[in-house]
Amino acid sequence: MSESSQEQQSSDGVSLGRRNFIRQSVVSLGVTVQEYIKHSDAPAEVPEAPPVTERTDWLRPPGAVGETDFLERCTKCGDCVEACPFDAIRNHRIDQTPVILAEEQPCQLCEDFPCIEACETEALLPVLEVSDVEMGIAKLSHQECTAAHGCNACVSKCPQQAIDMNFAAFQISILDDRCVGCGLCQQICKAVNDRVAIRVVPTRVLLC
């Protein structure tokens, strides 16, 4: 075979290979465009929102009757909510009944209890003394408590002197017979520590 014939075949082979490459590239591009158009028309996937965990540690206002009777008597009128001078009472997010979230705004144990005075359905009954209030009982986690490091902020703030500090052992204890469950200690603990060591267990839970 002559040299010119060999060069011609080589040239033809290169041209054929180039055409095949271009053809394949065009086909691949076309497939890509089709896939893009198909997926661009599809509705965007909306990520599912994480489930909201409903709080169960809320307290009923002072003077609340037993939970079953409370739910029967409370009309969700909001009178006790409006009467609270410290905005401690709020409507439950789901059923709109009055509740108190101790960590956010505890009960201040007003002397005249305007919330009870405002209730006309006897869902909240009068109490003779502050010590008669039974909203719950504060429970202490010694593992989370920083009393060993000198913290005793909750002791002096308790209106019922229901928190005792053993300075010899640097340990705090709760006096259940004095605690009315106002939640002041829980709010203070959250404010001064990274972890909350005191939490009020609602009366309705204690009675279960």
- CA-nearest of 155, 195, 196 to 179 is 155
Residue 135 has what DSSP assignment? S
In tens, the pLDDT along 47-79 reads 665 555 677 899 999 999 999 999 999 999 999
pLDDT class for 45, splitting at 50, 70, 90? low
pLDDT class for 11, splitting at 50, 70, 90? low
Q: Take residue 83 and report the two structure tokens written for it.
A: 């009467």
Place of tokens 């497939």: 31
Task: Provide the terminal-to-terminal Cα distance of the chain, rounded to the nearest Å.
Answer: 104
Residues in the chain: 208
φ, ψ for residue 22, nearest 5 deg = -65, -40
pLDDT value, residue 158: 96
| 93 CB-near residues (< 8 Å, 6+ apart) | 54
